[in-house]
Amino acid sequence: MTKNTEIKKFINKQNSLDTLRFITCGSVDDGKSTLLGRMLYEAHLIFDDQVDSLVSDSKKIGTQGGEIDFALLVDGLVAEREQGITIDVAYRFFSTEKRKFIVADSPGHEQYTRNMVTAASGAELAIILIDARNGILPQTKRHSFIASLVGIKKIIVAVNKMDLINFEKDVFKKVTEDYKKNVLPQVEFDEVNFIPVSALGGDNIIDISPKTPWYSGKPLMSMLESINIDNKENDIFSMPVQYVNRPNLNFRGFSGTVSSGSLAVNDEILVSSSLQTANVNEIYIADKNAKSCNEGDAVTITLNKEIDISRGDILFNKSYEVKKSNAFLTNLIWFNEKACYSNRSYILKSGNKQTGCEIL
């Protein structure tokens, strides 16, 4: 087998894998960045020069007394490294033989909760970390509620720092029971898995640790590789129009990034604002003509007839049922320090369109 053949075989295999988007969250200092860094390290998903840099940085600015500080793999801001905390969301892509992953490492401090929401809004699964010594904290509940609110249905509750309580089964059991009693009744998750881990020591990350013979579940990486994610809603094509491309009299295209689903030439689309329909005539990805496009592609499409479409409109599959209304019931995550008042005018952004609204 030639080298080119091996490369093509590897690329084809990678393209056939599905992608899981997940987030690590929880209270401050529960070990989110350390867990992610240890996961990448143990799975041999970082390069040798990165390991060398990690060892060097750990001795200079690490928080583990000269030992490897795995949090430095994802905490890249100067302020994060100086304070040993996560401030901004750090995204990492990695893959195994079974699945591709996009992970967002979110901050735990209350004042950075808005950053956690940003990360959670694009995730399909959440790993909620809990320090075994401290148990359920207010931020643990807050992050769990936000994860549920933005639509995450599958979570893994990782009880971390088990090494600091001598891997005691009773402590792990108490934390899990507290979470089931005090958190789960307030959220709407379809599947919850509990696992004892030591992010610093690597216990139950890639392999089952001999220090937890009482734990009969899977290690964390195996959970991530095997957990079933239902993406039925993502099968529906949707694309907010970001730009109407009109370079000359003979061309009118509608540009945007595909939010979900796929689209092919001759498919029928529906415009959110007018509920008019048309068939796709051409699809352009960059400057090349394509037969179809998928979620994440930045595209320009042309239609078989002239209909009114403007920046901010959302295009859907014809089969998608769009309901128009000037009033609706929703839950809001309010970030501003100033309180939200009813009957006050606000600006609502939907896709790329802004409109005035009132909260009643």
Query: Could you give the CA distance from residue 106 to residue 126 in angstroms, rounded to a whole number?
Result: 11
Starting from the edge strand earliest in sequence, which strands make up the sheet with 19-26, in order?
90-95, 100-105, 19-26, 125-131, 154-160, 191-196
- pLDDT band of residue 43 (cuts 50, 70, 90) is low
Residue 71 gets which letter from DSSP? G
Q: What is the pLDDT of residue 79?
A: 41
What is the per-residue pLDDT across 248-292, written as a single tens digit (0 to 9) for each?
888 999 999 998 888 999 999 999 888 899 999 999 998 889 999
Higher pLDDT, 140 or 46: 140
Query: Could you give the CA distance from residue 281 to residue 57 in angstroms, rounded to a whole number?
Result: 54
Q: What is the pLDDT of residue 84?
A: 45
Q: How many CB atoms lie within 10 A of CB 139?
A: 19
Kindly tell me if the per-residue pLDDT of 82 is higher than 50.
no
Average pLDDT over residues 318-334: 79
Show Cβ contacts of residue 283 under 8 Å, excluding neighbours closer than 6 positions: 263, 264, 265, 289, 290, 291, 292, 293, 299, 300, 301
Average pLDDT over residues 232-258: 86
Percent above pLDDT 90 for the chain: 36
Averaging pLDDT over each range in 52-56, 183-187, 234-238, 340-344, which range is the top one?
183-187
Higher pLDDT, 233 or 95: 95
Average pLDDT over residues 5-27: 76
Kindly tell me if the per-residue pLDDT of 63 is higher than 60.
no
Per-residue DSSP letters for 295-344? TT-EEEEEESS-----TT-EEEETTS-----S----------SSPP-TT-
Q: What is the pLDDT of residue 173?
A: 96
Q: What is the pLDDT of residue 117?
A: 86
Kindly tell me if the per-residue pLDDT of 75 is higher than 80.
no
- pLDDT band of residue 69 (cuts 50, 70, 90) is low
Kindly tell me if the per-residue pLDDT of 333 is higher than 90.
no
What is the per-residue pLDDT across 141-160, written as a single tens digit (0 to 9) for each?
988 999 999 889 999 999 99
Q: What is the pLDDT of residue 340?
A: 83
- 261 conformational bin, left if phi > 0, alpha if psi -120 to 50, beta if neither: left
Q: Tally DSSP H helices, then E strands, for the chain.
A: 8, 18
| Average pLDDT of the chain to the nearest whole number | 81
Q: What's the residue count for the chain? A: 360
Kindly tell me if the per-residue pLDDT of 241 is higher than 60.
yes
Average pLDDT over residues 103-130: 82
